[in-house]
A and B are shown apart, each in its own frame.
Chain A
Amino acid sequence: GNSVTQMEGPVTLSEEAFLTINCTYTATGYPSLFWYVQYPGEGLQLLLKATKADDKGSNKGFEATYRKETTSFHLEKGSVQVSDSAVYFCALIISSASKIIFGSGTRLSIRP
């Protein structure tokens, strides 16, 4: 079946550190891939997406590249800020008529 596996948290980093949150997927067909972010007390919001192999999604300094050969979509940021503290979810969707499948989420805490 289709699934998403992301690195366990929590992840704690100092401000300005480099961030990587790993995400791998299993899917039949050709999924679109997403990273969602959930700030404290809020709902999920789309951070970035990629719809085909080798696409790079980017937003707010975050990037992720759709790697079909390694079935991965790792999230990276070169210099994190305290305001990046949140829970990050990797997700995939197979088609417009199917449901979106989420990873279990990774809690990120940035200390000043």
Chain B
Amino acid sequence: EAQVTQNPRYLITVTGKKLTVTCSQNMNHEYMSWYRQDPGLGLRQIYYSMNVEVTDKGDVPEGYKVSRKEKRNFPLILESPSPNQTSLYFCASRDTGTRGYEQYFGPGTRLTVT
């Protein structure tokens, strides 16, 4: 089954404690992306990657890091989480070969930073 998986689904942590949210896709997609979803603000892109070893900032990259060492994985790293990073996070992937291809989303990770 074609899917994007994220782990963990729920995470409660404290300020300053480094954490990683994993993302994996099994569709051989080149493009992968991270979003955060906050009430009233919709979806905002954090980082994206066009292919292995190619990453770039989205609209709200401050406080986040990513890496793309393998095509299927795109982890999101919070080196020193702060309460304003409490949010719902989504990973997504899509093909870049043809116009109009849909973006597949993971189930989401709800992060609370106290």
Contacts and interface: CB of A to CB of B under 8 A. Distances in A.
Contacts of B60: none
Contacts of B94: 100
Chain B contact residues (Cβ within 8 angstroms of A): what range? Answer: 20 to 34
Contacts of B96: 96-97
Given A32-B99, A46-B103, A96-B101, A102 B90 contact: no
Contact of A51 (B48, B95, B97, B100): B100
A95 B40 CA distance: 27
A97 B50 contact: yes
B42 A102 contact: yes
Interface of A: 32, 34, 42-46, 49, 51, 89, 93, 95-97, 99-100, 102-105
Interface of B: 4, 33, 40-43, 45, 48, 50, 58, 90, 92, 94-103, 105-108
28 contacts: A32-B99, A32-B100, A34-B102, A42-B107, A42-B108, A43-B105, A43-B106, A43-B107, A43-B108, A44-B43, A44-B92, A44-B103, A45-B105, A49-B100, A49-B102, A89-B43, A93-B100, A95-B99, A96-B97, A96-B99, A96-B101, A97-B96, A99-B33, A99-B58, A102-B43, A104-B40, A105-B42, A105-B43
Nearest to A4: B42
A104 B99 CA distance: 23
Please report whether the interface of chain B is mostly helix, strand, loop or mixed according to DSSP: loop
B39 to A, nearest CB: 10
B48 A99 contact: yes
Contacts of B33: 99
Contacts of B40: 104
A97 B97 CA distance: 8
